[in-house]
Structure 1
Amino acid sequence: MKSQEETLEEWCRTLLQAFELEDTQIDIDAVLSLAGVAAHSVVRPAAPLTTFVAGFAAGVAAGTGQADQKTSMDAATALARKLSKDYAAVESGTGASGTVESGTGETDAG
């Protein structure tokens, strides 16, 4: 029987192949970690939504030449992680202004 890690790696390869993205490197642990932060900082369903939006943003950035794939993924993951944590802080009243710096200017998250 395959481990969860082996299954996820196989599934990731299957997805990448189906989307003709075989040369793309995915840091599965980083994606799962981001999902965990979003699920615990916002609400559970925020996990797939957050990872999808971060992945989409990374794809747009890489596709338009703003940055290479790895840099785009790292930046999108980092921003989504920060936003999730900031959201939790604002909701709990413990800090964060609700304003975050993105690559395209400031966005009011609140």
Structure 2
Amino acid sequence: MTESRTLPPEALNEWSAALAERFGLAEADIPIALILDLARDVANGVARPAAPLSAFVAGLVAGRAGGTPGDTAAAVAAVVEMARGWETP
């Protein structure tokens, strides 16, 4: 049986720093609060399992657009806008 692990908010900073180091990213490349807000809005507006999928898609869109912090913010804003207006078909 797998043990469930929940990170306290401050541990996200450590995890983010480790990811940045591993993949050669700058701290600004990983906007923790922006992504957590996206996850919250999608989980509440669509469904909980849609949150990680939506974060992946936002990252993919941002990367294809150029990968700047502005590209990330724009992709996240577009996903959040969709989630806030989502009505189950």
Which TM-score applies when normalising by structure 2? 0.81
Alignment partner of 1:7 is 2:11: yes
Pairing partner for 1:35 from 26, 39, 56: 39
Shift of 1:27: 1.8
How many corresponding residue pairs?
82
Between the aligned residues of both structures, percent identity stands at 38
Q: Which has the higher helix share?
A: 2
Larger Rg: 1
- Does 2:64 align with 1:60? yes
Runs of at least 5 residues in structure 1 that lack an aligned partner in the other structure: 64-68, 92-109
Q: Higher relative CO (CA 8 A, sep ≥ 6), structure 1 or 2?
A: 2
Scaled by the length of structure 1, what TM-score is found? 0.67
The one-letter code of the counterpart of 1:34 is L
Alpha-carbon distance between aligned partners in 2 of 1:53 and 1:29, rounded to the nearest angstrom = 17
SS at match of 1:44: coil
